[in-house]
Amino acid sequence: MASVTAYHVKITIFSFDTLDSTNAEALKQARTGADEGVCIIARRQTAGRGRHGRRWVSEKDAGLYFSIILRPRIEMRFLPLITLMAGVAVHDTLGSVGIEADIKWVNDLLVNEKKIGGILAETAETDTGIAVVVGIGINLAIADLPDEIAAIATSVESETGSVPDREKFIGSLTASLSTRYGQLSAPNGPELIRSEWIKRSSYGYGKNVRVSTGTEIVTGITDGIEENGALCIRKPDGTIVAIHAGDVQKLRA
């Protein structure tokens, strides 16, 4: 019987003590030809960035600040699924240290509704085609955070009582990313990643939410994920809208 070997990305890690942003460094390296699988890690970021231009507080060793360069061969319409793929990989990595996380569309890793990690995917046009940098921030240790962030954030240490071994944790994350990215790149990959994401998220179906897209506010009940990763919301009048970008907030049931 013929066997098909799943694609596995070759991981190469470059570690830094301090960077402005691992995403910024990875984008720079991608533009100058760095291979898929190059990972940039810093112990501290001075200008860590989150979605929608927000700041990602990145105190020394309090978190994992990690970015990986991908050069996807999937159809362009499926590119947004890279964030969902990374969410599945981070979810499984947290599982490896005993944390059962939830994933809030599109990129928030939550424990008891507090944020433990986030993902920021950014793209760059390069001489060899489009590169996607997937930036992952995971709170590892209890840190001295500004009050407004401390109230809505948690960490691996807060949840398990200990800071995970950094090398092992990075090994687990890169292995999961390699596996899940390989799956996404396979012929039925987009469908598989969507279903793995749905299994790990309480936000896929039946959640009463309010979504702010930047241009409008949509409230309704979540009703699955479109083939390109957009979140479907059933509005009170029964119509369904697909959200391609926005901030989701859980409302009371």
d(C-alpha 77, C-alpha 137), whole Å: 26
Give the one residue of 27, 36, 37, 66 binding ligand BTN; rule: CB under 6 A: 66
Restricting to residues 34-63, name those near ligand BTN by CB under 6 A: 45, 48-51, 54, 56
C-alpha distances in angstroms, 84 versus 43, 120, 132, 139, 205? Answer: 25, 11, 13, 19, 15
d(C-alpha 61, C-alpha 169), whole Å: 13
At closest approach, how far in Å is the CB of 122 from ligand BTN?
9
Site map 171..190 versus ligand BTN, x via CB under 6 A: --------------------
80 in contact with ligand BTN (CB under 6 A): no
Residue 21 or 179 having the CB closest to ligand BTN: 21
83 in contact with ligand BTN (CB under 6 A): no
Give the one residue of 101, 120, 173, 209 binding ligand BTN; rule: CB under 6 A: 120
22 in contact with ligand BTN (CB under 6 A): yes
Residue closest to ligand BTN when measured from CB atoms: 118
67 in contact with ligand BTN (CB under 6 A): yes
Beta-carbon contacts of 42 under 8 Å, excluding residues fewer than 6 positions away, are 15, 16, 17, 18, 19, 22, 25, 58, 65
At closest approach, how far in Å is the CB of 76 from ligand BTN?
23
Give the one residue of 37, 135, 189, 190 binding ligand BTN; rule: CB under 6 A: 135
Beta-carbon contacts of 174 under 8 Å, excluding residues fewer than 6 positions away, are 11, 13, 39, 68
116 in contact with ligand BTN (CB under 6 A): no
On the 0-12 / 13-18 / 19+ scale of CB atoms within 10 A, 63 is: buried
d(C-alpha 163, C-alpha 63), whole Å: 10
At closest approach, how far in Å is the CB of 56 from ligand BTN?
4
At closest approach, how far in Å is the CB of 207 from ligand BTN?
19
C-alpha distances in angstroms, 75 versus 189, 194, 236? Answer: 11, 15, 34
At closest approach, how far in Å is the CB of 58 from ligand BTN?
6
Interface with ligand BTN (CB under 6 A): 21-23, 45, 48-51, 54, 56, 65-67, 107-108, 118-120, 135-137
